[in-house]
Each structure stands twice: as structure tokens, then as C-alpha cells.
Structure 1
Amino acid sequence: MRTYIITGASKGIGHATAVQLAKEGHQVIGLARSQPEDSAPFTEFVPVDLGDQNARLKVFEELAAKYRVDGILNNVGLVNPAPLGEITLDDFDAVIDMNLRVAIQLTQAVLPGMKERGWGRIVSTSSLVTAGVPFRTSYAAAKTALLSFTRSWALELAQFGITVNAVSPGPVATELFNTNNPPGSESRQRYIDGIPMKRTGTPEELAAANCFFLGESSSFVTGQNLYVDGGSSTGHAPI
């Protein structure tokens, strides 16, 4: 049995990953601003505003002292979409904080224990938007930086038995995506038209990739980014 911390765990990909890890017999600690409707997968769920630097650091340090943390999923994110001419620096900073500073602080909190035990798994949720998407300047910059974190940390931590990987989802039918792009809507169809498989992904399909990287069988895989996107990152067949 391993112990994992997931940020952004109350719904979507984070919650689906918690469900899968719990089914495999692991302990899962979830962090998010709101309580999940289904708390069954969690050994402990901590409601915390991850946008509050002091509050989250206190929680991270308490959990690192309380549990033998074997792995983390840096999953929480913030988008703040806007065309270039309307981006505010405050909105930009909020996206950077939620996507990057949270990941750094949580990783730093659990890293000493992982190093001491010679085993650890660090997985981050990046995104297909790193390939370039209009109105996602801030979000794409943050998710691209997460990929840079992944490669740098993988090289730095390999000697300690700690692997570092990323998973980049394409359009996934989460609650937020379904609200913004309801079935039958023009925006949803536009997304689907760009996916070779002609459908959106499910949180469970992303959870499968996360659980592979968090588990025992990925022990010789580090510094990698896996697109789970129905072929979107590959592009369209030329003929």
C-alpha cells in the first residue's frame, strides 16, 4: 500500500484518479477548495483554498509530517482564458500561482521523505494547450512550464529512486467542460472535430495514465510527457 496526495481532487481527473488508486488499495489524501460529492476514495480530504499561499503551505507541511507520502499528483489548475489584448497581469499571476507555485510547494514538502526512503512518484497534469491554443496565453505558459519542471526534476531526482512524469489531456468530459460545452453545442462539436477519435476523453482514461506513472510498474520511466488526447497531438492524416 502506498500513500498519495492529489490536488484538485474533488472532481474530474483528480477525483477519478483517487477512485482508481483507492481500488488498488492505496491511501489517498485529497485537497481542493470544495468537498467532493463522493468522499469514499479518500483516506482524508482537506478543504483548502490552494490559491492561498500560507494556507496551502501549512496543510502541505502538516500532511508531510503526518503521512509517509509516496507520490503526488499536481493536478489543480486555473485557466483564466483571454485574448492577448485583454490579459491582466493579476490574472496571469493567478494562473502561474495555481499551476506552478502550488506544484513547487507541495513537491518540496514531501521530497525529504521520498529521498530518505529512496522511492517516490511525482506526476503533473499538463495539457494539450502547450501546442498552442488561442486565448490561452497564461494557461499554456503555465502548463508548458510544468513540462520543464518534469524534465528538470526527473534528472535531479533519478538518483534517489524518484520518478517525475506528466500527463497532457486533450478535451475531457469533466463537469467544467460539460458546463462550458454542453452536448450538442457548437463549441463542443468544434473540439470533437479536432480529435481524430471524434470524441472527448473521460476522467477515467486520464486516471489510468496517472495511475501508471504513480505505480510500481513505471519504475524505469521518468522525465516523460504522455498525451492522452485521442490523437489530437499527432494531427490529421495528410491524405
Structure 2
Amino acid sequence: MMSYTRQTAIVTGGSGGIGAAIVARLKTDGFRTIVLDLSPPEFEADKYYQIDLSDAEATHELCSEIADNENVNCLVNNVGIVKPALLEDVSLADFDTLMHVNLRPSIICTQAFLPKMKQLGGGRIVMNTSRVTKGKSERTLYSATKGAAQSMARTWALELGHHKVTVNCVAPGPIATDAFWKNNPPDAPNTLEIIENVPVKRLGTGEDVANAVSFFCAPQAGFVTGQTLFVCGGVTVG
């Protein structure tokens, strides 16, 4: 018997890019949506809280407050930043920054909202990771954080399955967001090569990623947990 129903979804880093597309899709699916981010959302969520998710104490306080007042049974750990660098140029300061933005908020938010998910009879946790976990030049730190997130998700899936809380990852490949264009100028040879090497011969969209997130967040997805779905146009196949 299905006990999990769509109630309130939290999307970290949900103000722009892939995050905004996820918020729009989950709202269309019937979730009440709440965005946690530094800047106001591009797509109108039901609620928005301005928060620096790298601030552990502030994030914990805000999530605890939300958990006391909202029936949050869906959490999309989406927030993430990239600091491209060859191995020789990797900065330990950037290591701390990426770990504190890309990874630590997932733990803080999940711990905050998990009790309510259990109380409500189930929940959905989705990690937005990346195809860079398969390997990509200049992504030492980014791939480290996203690989760690996928490993955590598998561990959490084992721990939380009996509570009817599923934990899965969506791993985007090249997606045409502002962040992508910032690191890959449109007319640069490397950018053209990236697009040419995508089997479906196009970049992905935020909506492509949101579609996968929507699947994992659906009541019908209760028998799918601990998985990573690559939304990459076939890049990871060969």
C-alpha cells in the first residue's frame, strides 16, 4: 500500500539553472516548493529563504525551523559550484569551499528533514551529482564532492529503506546552463567538441534533468533506491 504522497519539496540551490527547472517541475507535479539559496528564484516557488548554505550553523537553524512548520517529505540536494583546475593548480582553500557547499549541506538538510519524513510514512531524497564522477579533466574537486554524494546516497538508501525513504542520484552530463557557458565559451573549440561528442548531438536542458528528478520523487518510485541515473545524452555509454 502506497503511503507516500506529494507534500512539500525542498530544493537547495533552486534559484537558477537546473535548480529552477527542478522547482518548476516539482510544482507542476503537485508539490509545495521551498527554495533555499543565496539569490531569489527565477521560477516562483511557494516559499524562498535566503541562506548561505556553506554556513553550517545558519543552515541547520533554518532547516530545523522549516522542519517544525512544514510537512517536508521530499528533499532535492541540488546546490553545487565548480572550481575547474588541473591537479597541479588545485587549491586547498577551494577544497574546503566545495566540500562545504556541494556536500555538507546535504548532510545537514537530510538530518533536519528525516524525522518528518519518517513521521509522514516515507520520503524522497534526490542528490544532483554529475557525470564527472566517471572522470573529466580539471574536475578534481568537483568530482570528489559529487562522487562522495553518490556514495553517501547508497549508504543512506540502505539505512532508510525500511522507513520508506528512498535516496537516489541524478547525474547530469553537459547541460546548457549559465554555469556551463561560464566554463565553456560558446565558440571555443573545446565547447564545440563537447557538443559533437554527445551521442544525441545536443546539450541537455534543465528540464531534462528535472524530468529525472521528478521520476525519483514520485509516489510510484518507491521500489527504486540507491541508484544513479545519468542524464547525459549518452556521454557515459562509451
TM-score range, shorter chain: over 0.9
C-alpha deviation, 1:154, in angstroms: 0.3
1:232 aligns with one of 220, 232, 235: 235
Q: TM-score, normalised by structure 2?
A: 0.94
The equivalent of 1:163 in structure 2 is 166
**Of the candidates 31, 53, 61, which is equivalent to residue 64 of structure 2?**
61
Q: Which residue of 2 aligns with 1:18?
A: 23
Q: Who is 1:81 aligned against?
A: 84
Unaligned residue ranges in structure 1 (runs of 5+): none
Q: Does 1:4 align with 2:9?
A: yes
Equivalent residues in 2 for 1:46-195, closer than 5 Å: 46-195=49-198
Q: Does 1:219 align with 2:222?
A: yes
Q: How much does 1:124 deviate?
A: 0.1
Aligned residues: percent identity? 44
Residue number among 206, 209, 212 corresponding to 1:209 in the alignment: 212
Q: Deviations over 1:81-123 (max 9, x none)?
A: 1111111211111111111111000000001111122210000
State how far apart, in whole Å, the 2-side matches of 1:159 and 1:96 are.
Answer: 29
Q: Partner amino acid for 2:22?
A: T
Question: Are 2:36 and 1:31 equivalent residues in the alignment?
Answer: yes
Q: CA RMSD in A?
A: 1.2
SS at 1:31 equivalent: strand
Which SS does the other structure have where 1:5 is aligned?
strand
Q: Which amino acid is 2:48 matched to?
A: F
* Structure 1 position 62, deviation (Å): 1.0
Q: Which amino acid aligns with 1:103?
A: S
What does the per-residue CA deviation read over 1:185-216, in whole Å, with 9 as the maximum and x for residues that have no partner? 32321211221111110000100000110111
- What per-residue deviation string (whole Å, max 9, x for no partner) do you get for residues 157-205 of structure 1? 0000000000000000112213433433323212112211111100001
Contact kept, 8 Å, 2:20 with 2:42, in 1: the verdict is no
Structure 2: 5+ residue stretches without partners: 1-5
Task: Give the secondary structure class of the aligned counterpart of 2:175.
Answer: coil
One-letter code of the match for 2:68?
A
Partner residue, 2:200: 197
Residue-pair matches, total: 233
CA distance in structure 1 between the aligned counterparts of 2:113 and 2:13, rounded to whole angstroms: 17
**2:226 aligned counterpart, secondary structure:** coil
The answer to which of 186-195 and 118-127 deviates more is: 186-195
**4+ residue runs over 4 A deviation:** none
Query: How many Å separate the matches in 2 of 1:71 and 1:179?
Result: 30
Deviation at 1:14, TM superposition (A): 1.0
Amino acid across the alignment from 2:231: V
TM-score by length of 1: 0.94
Deviation at 1:10, TM superposition (A): 0.4
The answer on whether the counterparts of 2:130 and 2:173 sit within 8 Å (CA) in structure 1 is yes
The answer to whether the 8 Å contact 2:80/2:101 transfers is yes
